[in-house]
Amino acid sequence: MPMDGLTLGFIARELQNTLIDGRIEKVSQPEKDMLILTIRSKGQNHKLLLSAAPSFARAHLTEGAYANPQDAPMFCMLMRKHLQGGRMMALEQLGGDRVLKITIENKDELGDSAPREIYLELMGRHSNLTLVKDGKIIDAIRHVSGDMSRVRQALPGLPFVLPPVQDKIDPAYLNENELAEKLSAASGPLDKALSNVIRGLSPITAKEIAFRAAGLHKAEVSDLKTDELARVICSFFERMPSLFAPAAQMNADGLLCDVLPFPYLSLETALQRPFPTLSQAFDAFYFGRDRRDRMNQKSQTLKRVIKTHLERDEKKLALQEEELADSARMEEYRVAGELLTAQAYLVPRGAESVRLPNFYDPSGGMLEIALDIALTPAQNAQKYFKRYRKARVARDLARDQKEKTLQEMTALEQALFDLEACETEQDMGDVRKALEGAGILKSAPEKNARKKLKLPESQPMRFEAADGTQIVVGKNSAQNDRVTGSAKGGETWLHAKDMPGSHVIIRSENPSKEALSAALRLAAWYSKGKGVSVPVDYTLRKHVKKPGGAAPGFVIYTNQKTMIVSVSEGEIEAIKRI
């Protein structure tokens, strides 16, 4: 779920205990709407992630590895100027709502200490992160002009104004009389009434509080005594900080689907996985989702190009198959020409067709041959020979073109699969380079080539089986080449049969059943079959060969065994990734 006000209050208290009086050592901006502050506090480095992404707005400590762009964005450079070397003086939630204020003291251009404030607003598509000094906006990660909003702008130099306050009760100032009065005027389900009355409650949190207050999963306000209800709810909010025990809610497949600041009695307790800190719970919940979502957005243009090429290839293939079907009459043309040449004396002058004995037919049948009345029998024979030669050339050409078209379609389908597995810019660069190497895409001219830094080589995924055996999984065709090429002859190689997928290598020449089982599941999951009854081939690496001139990731292999494998995302998550 999005981080609500109640959860933000818990994360703010957790960050206060860890970061206050810490020194900001580094500022980075891995994404256009994300900032990471590396803070040295209490003898340790901590990475504070502040995200204003519409779907993933949040604040927490992270241990995730986020790749930074080659050139730091202007906003990042400005934040480094104002924040780097500064001290974290205060960190607080404002008004019980989804606004986090961070106060940092740092020296200005004259060497005098001056405070700056960072305001992170977790408001869905209106989320923003703003740097403020002396009440004025230095800059915002998302500019909001007057054309975009008449109520509130976010532009450098303008006075900073907090978001409009909702007509709801701040949980910090909750009292029985005011709450009872507002609940008395409400109607319908209790959880919805609480969301409308108290700030910062998401639907799932409102349901939890309603369940604790009324003892029912579905309670109506009209069926309850509001005075008693208000007393119980106020009492709950008073003792709520003492309930702090971070957890993540899992679904039936064992995948994280929500983050909870304390165990929710309204949810199945067996599906609530505890975490040492709320930041760790958020990190586990968001890291993979955020990365996949961002890579999916970045790869949309390339996906459209690939799909356009695929559509063209499908049309080409249909035409080539039509030409091959037409060339099936090639032998008829040759036979007709030879029969006319050998039996020209049997052809009447001016005939539109003739039936001649077919000495190529074992049963001695007759063959009817259409004629051009304007031509002699010999000329008609030459016309058929010409059609035969033309059909033979067309057949050979169509056969070669069809083979090339099929190879290109295979490369395009593999590229589409590879894009789904991309985790970094380097991964996406591998996909593009593979298409450029196959001649499908033109190489884009590099701008400022002298200044352009070479991106580090993308890395495959690495997993560890239950017995500690390492398993390597390629994320794209370029990585597949590297993964397979670097494997030893006695190591086990796996790949989903007859479909795009990852090359998988078990780094052992005598793998255990646990290692083989894990590798089979990984090969099935990281394939176009996505783990649903996927046939997976496996053999020794020494039986895998790459033909000369073959497209990236293409191999041939022998001595394989095949297993049909089905696997869920939860089972893949359970395999330790290293």
Could you tell me which residue, 326 or 494, shows the higher pLDDT?
A: 494
DSSP 187: -
The domain boundary residue, chosen from 293, 313, 330: 293
The model's pLDDT over 220-229, given as tens digits with 9 standing for 90+, comes to 999 999 999 9
Q: 288 to each of 14, 283, 285, 448, how far by Cα in Å?
A: 23, 9, 7, 33
Residue holding tokens 């319908």?
A: 188
Contact 522, 473 (CB under 8 A): yes
Sort strands 34-41 and 23-31 into parallel, antiparallel or unpaired: antiparallel
Of residues 23, 517, 515, 54, the one with CA closest to residue 293: 54
pLDDT band at 426, cuts 50/70/90? confident
Number of folded domains that form the chain: 4
The model's pLDDT over 137-179, given as tens digits with 9 standing for 90+, comes to 999 999 999 888 888 999 999 999 999 888 899 999 999 999 9
Asked whether residue 386 falls in the same domain as residue 506, the answer is no
Could you tell me which residue, 571 or 455, shows the higher pLDDT?
A: 571
Report the Cα 9 to chain-centroid distance in Å.
30
Average pLDDT over residues 60-88: 92
Sign of the torsion angle spanned by Cα atoms 78, 82, 85, 87:
negative
Asked whether residue 249 falls in the same domain as residue 315, the answer is no
User: Which helix or strand (DSSP H or E) is residue 543 part of?
Assistant: none
The domain boundary residue, chosen from 359, 394, 416: 416
pLDDT at 451 over 60: no
The model's pLDDT over 20-53, given as tens digits with 9 standing for 90+, comes to 999 999 999 999 999 999 999 999 999 999 999 9
pLDDT at 288 over 80: no
Asked whether residue 288 falls in the same domain as residue 322, the answer is no
Q: 422 to each of 294, 425, 426, 428, 485, how far by Cα in Å?
A: 10, 8, 8, 6, 21
Residue holding tokens 């940092």?
A: 104
Q: How far apart are CA 486 and CA 306, in angstroms?
A: 29
The model's pLDDT over 199-243, given as tens digits with 9 standing for 90+, comes to 999 999 999 999 999 998 899 999 999 999 999 999 999 999 999
Asked whether residue 257 falls in the same domain as residue 355, the answer is no
Task: Return the beta strands (E) in 290-431 as ranges.
Answer: 353-357, 366-370
Asked whether residue 360 falls in the same domain as residue 267, the answer is no
pLDDT band at 2, cuts 50/70/90? low
Asked whether residue 469 falls in the same domain as residue 564, the answer is yes
The domain boundary residue, chosen from 251, 266, 293: 293
Task: Return the beta strands (E) in 336-431 as ranges.
Answer: 353-357, 366-370
Could you tell me which residue, 3 or 425, shows the higher pLDDT?
A: 3
pLDDT at 63 over 60: yes
Of residues 142, 135, 92, the one with CA closest to residue 114: 135
> Is the residue at 449 inside a domain?
no
Of residues 475, 504, 507, the one with CA closest to residue 489: 507
Average pLDDT over residues 75-95: 95
Asked whether residue 127 falls in the same domain as residue 224, the answer is no
Of residues 95, 246, 91, the one with CA closest to residue 171: 95
What's the domain range around 26? Answer: 5-140
Asked whether residue 132 falls in the same domain as residue 13, the answer is yes
> Is the residue at 55 inside a domain?
yes
Q: How many helices (H) and strands (E) does the chain have?
A: 14, 23
Instruction: Tell me what the pLDDT averaged over the chain comes to.
Output: 90
Tell me the range of 249-253, 410-414, 523-527 where mean pLDDT is highest: 523-527
> Is the residue at 159 inside a domain?
no
Q: 350 to each of 46, 238, 340, 371, 380, how far by Cα in Å?
A: 97, 109, 14, 9, 12
Amino acid identity, position 319:
L
Sign of the torsion angle spanned by Cα atoms 404, 405, 407, 408:
positive
Q: How far apart are CA 286 and CA 331, in angstroms?
A: 65
